[in-house]
Amino acid sequence: MELDLSPRLPKKVYGGDGGSYFAWCPEELPMLREGNIGAAKLALEKYGLALPRYSDSSKVAYILQGSGTAGIVLPEKEEKVIEIKKGDSIALPFGVVTWWFNNADTELVILFLGETHKGHKAGQFTDFYLTGSNGIFTGFSTEFVGRAWDLDETTVKKLVGSQTGNGIVKVDASLKMPSPRKGDREGFVLNCLEAPLDVDIKDGGRVVVLNTKNLPLVGEVGFGADLVRIDGHSMCSPGFSCDSALQVTYIVGGSGRVQVVGADGKRVLETHVKAGALFIVPRFFVVSKIADSDGLSWFSIVTTPDPIFTHLAGKTSVWKALSPEVLQAAFKVAPEVEKTFRSKRTSDAIFFPPPH
């Protein structure tokens, strides 16, 4: 059976006055289940609070829009209260407890991408809430909770039963939430819009790679990520992950065309993408993108902490490494055609500006 690689939009799972939670469904995007990948979005309105929770999957969070505050508690560690803003990437290993709060007028939107191979459902995150109508302590008897917390029955019932919201609530404007603490961002957050560029091609594109060097927690998460921005009508060189990693791509902004080629030279995807869409490139498949006039940007995870890519155009491509005689024989062309081919794309660029 052929895999459907078509880009998809997420569906609303739950929400209310405080905001909404959206997720991509394995039934509509089969590569999620095939690759054990989860993808979701959290959108918080002003004074919206995503209640404390932990997940069955490690993730990377990327702030798509707005600003706010995040609380992060690693196992057996103190809470980190972090200011978050557009462009921030945060690695969230197994066992981390998080909460998210928006105190600004602009909607706060957070993308979550991660692996589900240890999760309860392939291709889908399962969150466990500490409070709320579906909080884990609503399932324990009053006796068990009272003994665990050393509290009387009346107090237990107030603590467990007062919050009737589910997952996301809207807090009263008069409630003073924790303020971000200076220094808590260090080691937890990398802003991809402010970080040093790993690739910068004039009139072509820019890349910031999230890896164990600039964010050590990536090693605990188990996969890397990057933010790629290409200019209008520019092209991202055809390439593939040569360490058997999947590429999970979310379109952050702009629009453009995508082609993916698989085994036997078969084009398995040709589509137009725009902001909000997500698609997955299978292992070793070759992908290339061309931006529309408004440019194209995407945030991706690659299912290895320090990914390695092979590009099939440009100075560093495999074509330039192969012997001229091999290329002549492989393409079945005359020497002058091989020379013309080799003389093109002599820079290290992986992004190509539009032809003049």
Report d(CA 43, CA 19) in Å as an integer.
5
Confidence band of 356 (pLDDT split at 50, 70, 90): low
pLDDT digits (tens, 9 = 90+) for 183-220: 999 989 999 999 999 888 888 899 998 888 898 888 88
Question: What pLDDT is attached to residue 300?
Answer: 93
Report whether pLDDT(306) > 70: no
What's the distance, Cα to Cα, between the start and end of the chain in Å?
43
Is 119 in the same domain as 198? no
Number of domains in the chain: 2
DSSP 254-279: EEEEEEEE-GGG-EEEEEEEETT-EE
Percent of the chain whose pLDDT exceeds 70: 94
Residue 330: count of CB within 10 angstroms of its CB: 12
Is 199 in the same domain as 290? yes
pLDDT digits (tens, 9 = 90+) for 124-165: 999 999 999 999 999 999 999 999 999 999 999 999 999 999
In a domain, 62, yes or no: yes
CATH number for 35:
2.60.120.10
Both tokens assigned to 85 = 């803003």
**pTM (2 d.p.):** 0.92
Is 103 in the same domain as 211? no
pLDDT digits (tens, 9 = 90+) for 88-127: 999 999 889 999 999 999 999 999 999 998 999 999 999 9
Range of the domain at 231: 192-352
Is 241 in the same domain as 93? no
Question: What pLDDT is attached to residue 312?
Answer: 67
Report whether pLDDT(18) > 80: yes
Report whether pLDDT(1) > 60: no
Question: What pLDDT is attached to residue 323?
Answer: 85
Confidence band of 316 (pLDDT split at 50, 70, 90): low
In a domain, 180, yes or no: no
Q: Look up residue 308 and give its DSSP letter.
A: -
Is 125 in the same domain as 213? no
Question: What pLDDT is attached to residue 307?
Answer: 63
Q: What is the mean pLDDT of the chain?
A: 91
Is 322 in the same domain as 223? yes
Report whether pLDDT(47) > 90: yes
The answer to which of 89-93, 114-118, 239-243, 295-299 has the lowest mean pLDDT is: 239-243
Q: Are 89 and 210 in contact (CB under 8 A)?
A: yes
In a domain, 137, yes or no: no
Question: What pLDDT is attached to residue 305?
Answer: 66
Q: Look up residue 214 and give its DSSP letter.
A: T
Is 222 in the same domain as 321? yes
Rg (CA), the chain: 23
Dihedral sign from CA coordinates of 116, 121, 126, 128? negative
Report d(CA 286, CA 239) in Å as an integer.
5
In a domain, 22, yes or no: yes
Long-range contacts of 200-203 (CB under 8 A, 24+ apart): 201/349, 201/350, 201/351, 201/353, 202/353, 203/231, 203/234, 203/353
Question: What pLDDT is attached to residue 71?
Answer: 97
Is 249 in the same domain as 106? no
Q: Is pLDDT larger for residue 24 or for residue 223?
A: 24
Average pLDDT over residues 51-80: 96
CA distances from 69 to 21, 49, 61, 95 (A): 17, 10, 13, 20
Is 104 in the same domain as 203? no
Question: What pLDDT is attached to residue 244?
Answer: 61
Report whether pLDDT(344) > 60: yes
Q: Are 92 and 63 in contact (CB under 8 A)?
A: no
